Amino acid sequence: MTLIDIASTKQQQSIIGVSLLIKLVENYGHSPIPLLEQAGIAPELLKDPKAKITLLQDITFVRALLYLIEDPEIGFHAGQCYRISAFGNLGLAAASCDIVEDAITLFLKYIRLSYTHFDVSLFKNNGKAILRFNDIYNLKELRNFYIERDFSFVLISTRDMFPRTLDGQKFKAINFDFECPTSIEQYEALFECTVNFSMPYNEIQFDESYLARPLPQANPLTRQLLEEQCESQKIETFGPAGYVQKIQQVIRDSEDSIPNLEEIAEQFHTTSRTIRRKLKAEGYSFQAILTEELSRKAIHYLETTRLTVEQISLRLGYSESASFIHAFKRWTGKVPKAYRQ
C-alpha cells in the first residue's frame, strides 16, 4: 500500500511525545531550544499538557535530534523515556485491564492517542504472540529510529506492569527488516533476547502464555472510566468520526463476510444514497474505501494466518479465487502466494 507523505498530512498529536525527549537531549549535554526552534515549537508549549503539534513538527524535531546526537543506541534510549504512565488515560486504562492481552487490545484500539507512527497488529502463531509494526508514513531516514524507540517502549512497559522478572515476560525474539548498523551482540544486550536483522517484518515475539497473565492493577470500573476518557480525548484531538472512518471500522470489524453499502446503511439507520452523498462531501467514494480495506485485510490474513487463498477470497466476498488473485495483484503487484513467501 502507498505510504503517506509526512508533508501532505496536517495530523496533530500531543506535545507530550516531544516533551519526553527533552530530558534525553539534556542528558546528552545539549540544549533542546535550537531543536524546538527548528521544529517551530514554542518552548512555552511544553508547559501545557493539552498543547498540540503537527506530525511534521515531531518529525522535524527528531531529525534535528539525530543530527545533533550521533549515538547508534539513541532509538533504544529514547524508548526508555516513554513509560506507560506517560500515555495518560490510555496508559492507565491499559494497566487497569484484567490480563495482558486485554491491555494490548485496548492500547491498539486507541493507538492514535499514542506517539507511534506505525500500524501495529497483534496475532498468535505456533505458541508465540507477535506484535508486528507496519509502515503508515514515509519516514525515510528516521524510520529505524522510530522502530527502535517503539520496540524499546514495549520492553519498558512490561517492566512497568511487572516490576519483578517473571517467566514468559521477556521477549523471545525481535525481528528488524533493516541491516544491523552496529553489532548483533550489542542489540541483544539491549533487548535481552535474540535479535534478527534483514527479516521480512519488524516484529516483537514473545511467549503466547504471557497474554493470559493477570495484571496486578486490574480494576474493571477504573478501566471503563478511563476508556470513556480515551474516547473523549480521541474526539477532542481528531474530531468526531466521519462516514469514512465509520465505514472503515465496520469493514475492519467484519470477519466472516464483508457487508455491502446497503447493509452498512441499514446499520447506520440511513440510506445508501445518503452515505454516498456524505462520502463525496468528505472526498471519498465507497468503492475507494472498500478497495483500501480489502487490501489491508488480505495482507493481514496472508501475513498472520494460515488461511488458504481460497478461504481468504471467500472472507473478502469473492465468489471465485481467480477474481481475488487478479485484484490482489492489482493492489500489490504480486499474486497472494508470492506475497506470502
Determine the pLDDT at residue 2: 61
Determine the pLDDT at residue 296: 87
Q: Counting every residue, how long is the chain?
A: 341
Residue by residue, what is the 3-state secondary structure of the chain?
CCCECHHHCCCEEECHHHHHHHHHHHHCCCCCHHHHHHHCCCHHHHHCCCCEEEHHHHHHHHHHHHHHCCCCCHHHHHHCCCCHHHHHHHHHHHHCCCEHHHHHHHHHHCHHHCCCCEEEEEEEECCEEEEEEEECECCHHHHHHHHHHHHHHHHHHHHHHCCCCCCCCCEEEEECCCCCCCCHHHHHHHHCCEEECCCCCEEEEEEHHHHHCECCCCCHHHHHHHHHHHHHHHHHHHCCCCHHHHHHHHHHHCCCCCCCHHHHHHHCCCCHHHHHHHHHHCCCCHHHHHHHHHHHHHHHHHHHCCCCHHHHHHHCCCCCHHHHHHHHHHHHCCCHHHHHC
Half-sphere exposure of 196 (CA within 13 A, CB side): 13
Low-confidence ranges of the chain (pLDDT < 50): 165, 168
Determine the pLDDT at residue 162: 67
Burial class of residue 290 in the structure, from the number of CB atoms within 10 Å of its CB (0-12 exposed, 13-18 middle, 19+ buried): buried
Determine the pLDDT at residue 218: 93
Domain borders along the chain are 1-70, 73-237, 241-340
Determine the pLDDT at residue 102: 95
Under CATH, which number does the domain 241-340 receive?
A: 1.10.10.60
Residues facing 129 on adjacent strands: 124, 206
Determine the pLDDT at residue 165: 47
The answer to whether 86 touches 16, Cβ cutoff 8 Å, is yes
Q: What is the pLDDT of residues 179-199, one digit of tens each?
A: 999 899 999 999 989 999 999
**Mean of the per-residue pLDDT values for the chain?**
89
